Amino acid sequence: MKVLWLKVAGLVIVGMSVCAARGACRGGPGEPECDGGTAVAREDVAGACSFVDRYPRQYVSYYTDVAPTIDGRPDEKLWSEVGWSQPFVDIRGDDYKPQPRFQTQFKARWDPQFLYVAARVQEPQIWANITEDNQVIFKDNDFEIFVDPASSSHYYKELEINANAATWALCLNKPYANGGYENSSRVYPGKGWGFSGDARFAVHVDGTLNVPSEENRGWTVEIRLPLADLMYNNTEKKPTVGTLWRINFSRVEWQVRAVGGHFEKVPNAVEDNWVWSPQVCVLCVCPALGLSQIT
């Protein structure tokens, strides 16, 4: 997915490309071609091409002296002190139609040990089949985080979580298109890379999981990720005020239908990929993440 950049007075989260994980864009200004699609160059009033749609989104992550209780409910004071991100858009960008049917947003805070993330996922059809960790979570609807502190696209970390709070953590040594491989407990049981025991993940369901109901509104997520785990083999520079990290957030959304009191995927329907920082194409080969500044 994409990670972008911005600099302000906090830990700045810059949009990152989910490309490294699923594919990457080829070409720069004047060469807007992508695997999986074609970027549309815009013209400004002077007639020159503008690639403003390629610039990553930015978010400032503010320092916190008080750690959140990781229970899936982002209702504590430290969360109300900061704003929600922009709503997610289709992975292909703002101009792609249709745009997401449901809203997704995140917040982020940090301290010397952890990056804290909260997310709210609007969802009238709350379902999840996977109950065990280290599975391919995006086969369910999910929320995903991609973190590349060094902006190198090497040894970036990825976390996926579904409404069951089942997780999949992995480290990618380099983009798949460049011969990269997944280092995880899914691939190497018992010895693959994963977040340490200090990581925490929790989900709160606003409705009833796996039961069609008019009362279903969505689910919220709280996550605590050790900075040391995110920095592993990527950077030795600990974040300080003003640091920029490339990060992106994604949501995979499948079309489902109610059948006999439960949900089933709509046959032959392709999943939607909604992201915080768009990457213009679905399957890309270079990482394009958003920017997050630490303040």
Q: Are 199 and 227 in contact (CB under 8 A)?
A: no
Per-residue DSSP letter, 52: G
Distance CA 76, CA 104 (A): 19
What's the mean pLDDT in 171-184?
93
Q: Are 120 and 74 in contact (CB under 8 A)?
A: yes
Q: Is the pLDDT of residue 44 over 60?
A: no
Distance CA 238, CA 240 (A): 6
pLDDT at site 35: 33
Distance CA 199, CA 147 (A): 15
User: Lowest-pLDDT range, 32-41, 60-69, 112-121, 156-165?
Assistant: 32-41
pTM comes to 0.84
pLDDT at site 177: 85
25 pLDDT tier (thresholds 50, 70, 90): very low
pLDDT at site 289: 57
What's the mean pLDDT in 184-195?
96
pLDDT at site 277: 92
Token pair, residue 163, equals 């409404």
Scanning the structure block, which residue is given the tokens 């995110």?
230
Domains of the chain, residue spans? 11-294
State pLDDT tens for residues 125-143: 999 999 999 999 999 999 9
User: Lowest-pLDDT range, 95-99, 177-181, 193-197?
Assistant: 95-99
283 pLDDT tier (thresholds 50, 70, 90): very low
How far apart, in Å, do the first and last CA atoms of the chain sit?
24
- Helix H segments across the chain? 19-22, 77-80, 227-231
pLDDT at site 38: 34
279 pLDDT tier (thresholds 50, 70, 90): confident
Distance (Å) of CA 75 to CA 37, 84, 163, 217: 40, 13, 18, 16
The DSSP string of 131-196 is -SSSS-GGGSSEEEEEEETTSSSSSEEEEEE-TT--EEEEEESS-GGGT--EESTTTSTTTS----
| CA of residue 246 relative to chain centroid, distance | 11
Averaged pLDDT of the chain: 84
Token pair, residue 52, equals 């403003």
Q: Is the pLDDT of residue 12 over 90?
A: no
Token pair, residue 46, equals 């002077």
10 pLDDT tier (thresholds 50, 70, 90): very low
Q: Is the pLDDT of residue 40 over 70?
A: no
Please calculate the CA angle 239-60-170 and round it to the nearest 5 degrees.
60
Measured on CA atoms in the order 228, 229, 230, 236, is the torsion positive or negative? positive
Residue of 119, 116, 62, 55 whose CA lies nearest to 87: 119
What's the mean pLDDT in 205-224?
96
- Could you tell me which CATH number the domain at 11-294 has? 2.60.40.1190
Scanning the structure block, which residue is given the tokens 């990152």?
16
Return the higher-pLDDT residue of 205 and 41.
205
Q: Is the pLDDT of residue 21 over 90?
A: no
The DSSP string of 133-151 is SSS-GGGSSEEEEEEETTS
Phi-psi region of 4 (alpha: psi -120 to 50; beta: other; left: phi over 0): beta
